[in-house]
């Protein structure tokens, strides 16, 4: 048995540490904490698989950590217990209800079943890496795996800040790279056909779908839009609210996720005319059309259920014989049309409410080559001599 003091030298005080062989390839490392205010020291022990040198190395690290105050006492708290604590404290007070719900869903589906019962201080990188491998083997997308990685990395980062862990094991894991795939998009004739079908009343949400492709607003922003945020005289609206359906809470009205998401959006004359039509129809049905009344509602006048809007869009597209496109694809269509028309990406980014222009450039990189050609041709035309 080897004994070392806090400086890594042989010693016999209670502040010493010991390495004792348990059986072949397994060693018990023992050491003591610094004395508390009552002069008492706590004995701690760990099992090390490997050689005696491996155990002695770990002992020196633990003694050094105790000496400089960075050591974290062993805790029986599980990953599941810690994450529940993190959700109830940090996430509940610092994230939107929508974000918190998304975190909870991914945690319940992928993190807790795999490592929830593991003691958080015993969590290893291979535990986390195995989660990602299992998800990919099940056919889940790389994007879903990346969402889980970001949640786990953020949660474990707080465990380090709170003194529960000394390092974030998620930093030692290699998540998959994001899939680079071009978005599905309709061509101009298809978009024209879609808008004609919306005008013909082929869907109960035809006006909403037409509005979405004209403005590029997110689903939550369209559903949360109220008349007090719309100025039809000036042709502008303010994105200041969202509406989400949150599990266990029902419909929840909130603020846009980021500062840049809270924005003013200019409206084309066609869009202003569309909103006048919507207001007229609501007036005929006896619904309020001013103040805090929603712009788009169910037939009953009640607030929209966002998931039902998505379901109706999917049905509408399929029954109309249109190529597949998601409801969110209308936002992408708006952005692509703007960029293809030569609108400055900075202006497009601000209108869409992206947190920074790099998001816009990354999402719509497939449009940029044509823009670059237009720019080159424009410069060449300016330089031509008469």
Q: Kindly report, residue by residue over 36-86, the tens digit of the pLDDT.
A: 777 788 788 888 888 999 889 888 888 887 777 666 666 778 999 999 999
Residues 99-110 have a mean pLDDT of 94
Strand partners, 297: 303
pLDDT digits (tens, 9 = 90+) for 124-157: 999 999 999 999 999 999 999 999 999 999 999 9
pLDDT number for residue 152: 97
- End-to-end CA distance of the chain: give it in Å, rounded: 94
CATH architecture label of 2-68: 2-Layer Sandwich (3.30)
pLDDT reading at 3 higher than 60: no
- CATH 3.30.160 spans which residues of the chain? 2-68
Share of the chain above pLDDT 90, in %: 55
Q: Mean pLDDT across the chain, nearest whole number?
A: 86
Coil, helix or strand for 299? Answer: coil
- CATH 1.10.150.130 spans which residues of the chain? 79-172
pLDDT number for residue 76: 79
Determine phi and psi for 373, rounding to 5 degrees.
-65, -40
Residues 334-342 have a mean pLDDT of 81
Coil, helix or strand for 335? Answer: helix
Coil, helix or strand for 98? Answer: helix
What CATH code is assigned to 188-370? 1.10.443.10
pLDDT reading at 303 higher than 90: yes
Q: Which residue has the higher pLDDT, 256 or 149?
A: 149
State the fold for domain 79-172: DNA polymerase; domain 1 (1.10.150)
6 — pLDDT class (breaks 50, 70, 90): very low
pLDDT reading at 15 higher than 70: no
Coil, helix or strand for 278? Answer: helix
- CATH 1.10.443.10 spans which residues of the chain? 188-370
Determine phi and psi for 266, rounding to 5 degrees.
-80, 145
pLDDT number for residue 73: 65
Q: Which residue has the higher pLDDT, 130 or 35?
A: 130
Residues 219-241 have a mean pLDDT of 96
Residues 306-330 have a mean pLDDT of 95
User: Can you read off the two tokens belonging to residue 186?
Assistant: 């309709």
Q: Which of 9, 10, 7, 29 is nearest to 18 (CA)?
A: 29
pLDDT number for residue 48: 83
pLDDT reading at 278 higher than 90: yes
Q: Look at 40-44, 110-114, 268-272, 360-364 and tell me which has the smallest mean pLDDT.
A: 360-364
pLDDT number for residue 226: 97
pLDDT reading at 10 higher than 70: no
112 — pLDDT class (breaks 50, 70, 90): very high
Residues 162-182 have a mean pLDDT of 84
367 — pLDDT class (breaks 50, 70, 90): low
Largest CA distance in the chain: 96
pLDDT number for residue 146: 95
Residues 250-269 have a mean pLDDT of 90
Q: Which of 143, 80, 65 is nearest to 111 (CA)?
A: 80
180 — pLDDT class (breaks 50, 70, 90): low
pLDDT reading at 191 higher than 80: yes
237 — pLDDT class (breaks 50, 70, 90): very high
pLDDT number for residue 11: 43
Q: Where are the beta strands (DSSP E) in the chain?
A: 2-4, 17-23, 26-32, 43-49, 230-231, 236-239, 242-246, 250-254, 263-266
pLDDT reading at 21 higher than 80: yes
Q: Which residue has the higher pLDDT, 247 or 125?
A: 125
Residues 355-379 have a mean pLDDT of 64
pTM: 0.70
pLDDT reading at 230 higher than 80: yes
């Amino acid at each position: 048995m080897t004994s070392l003091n806090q400086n890594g030298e042989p010693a016999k005080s209670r502040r010493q540490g010991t390495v004792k062989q348990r059986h072949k390839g397994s060693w018990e490392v023992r050491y003591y904490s610094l004395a508390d205010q009552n002069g008492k020291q706590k004995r701690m022990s760990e099992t090390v698989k490997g050689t005696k040198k491996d155990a002695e190395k770990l002992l020196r690290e633990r003694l050094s950590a105790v000496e400089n105050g960075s050591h974290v006492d062993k805790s029986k708290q599980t990953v599941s217990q810690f994450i529940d604590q993190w959700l109830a404290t940090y996430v509940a007070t610092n994230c939107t209800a929508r974000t918190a719900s998304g975190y909870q869903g991914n945690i319940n589906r992928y993190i807790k079943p795999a490592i929830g019962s593991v003691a958080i201080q015993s969590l290893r990188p291979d535990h986390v890496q195995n989660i990602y491998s299992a998800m990919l083997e099940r056919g889940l997308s790389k994007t879903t795996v990346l969402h889980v990685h970001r949640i786990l990395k953020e949660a474990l980062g707080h465990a380090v800040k709170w003194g529960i862990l000394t390092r974030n094991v998620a930093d030692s894991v290699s998540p998959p790279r994001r899939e680079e795939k071009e978005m599905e998009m309709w061509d101009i004739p298809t978009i024209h056909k879609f808008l004609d079908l919306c005008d013909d009343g082929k869907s109960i949400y035809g006006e909403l779908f037409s509005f979405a492709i004209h403005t590029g607003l997110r689903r939550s922003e369209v559903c949360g839009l109220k008349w007090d945020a719309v100025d039809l005289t000036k042709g502008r609206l303010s994105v200041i609210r969202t509406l989400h359906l949150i599990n266990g809470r029902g419909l929840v009205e909130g603020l846009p996720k980021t500062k840049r998401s809270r924005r003013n959006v200019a409206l084309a004359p066609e869009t202003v005319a569309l909103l006048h039509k919507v207001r007229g129809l609501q007036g005929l049905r006896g619904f309020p059309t001013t103040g805090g009344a929603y712009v788009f509602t169910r037939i009953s006048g009640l607030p929209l259920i966002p998931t039902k809007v998505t379901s109706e869009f999917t049905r509408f597209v399929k029954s109309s014989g249109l190529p597949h496109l998601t409801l969110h694809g209308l936002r992408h269509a708006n952005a692509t049309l703007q960029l293809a028309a030569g609108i400055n990406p900075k202006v497009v980014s601000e209108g869409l409410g992206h947190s920074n222009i790099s998001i816009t450039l990354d999402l719509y990189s497939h449009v940029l080559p044509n823009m670059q050609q237009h720019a080159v041709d424009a410069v060449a035309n300016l330089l031509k001599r008469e």
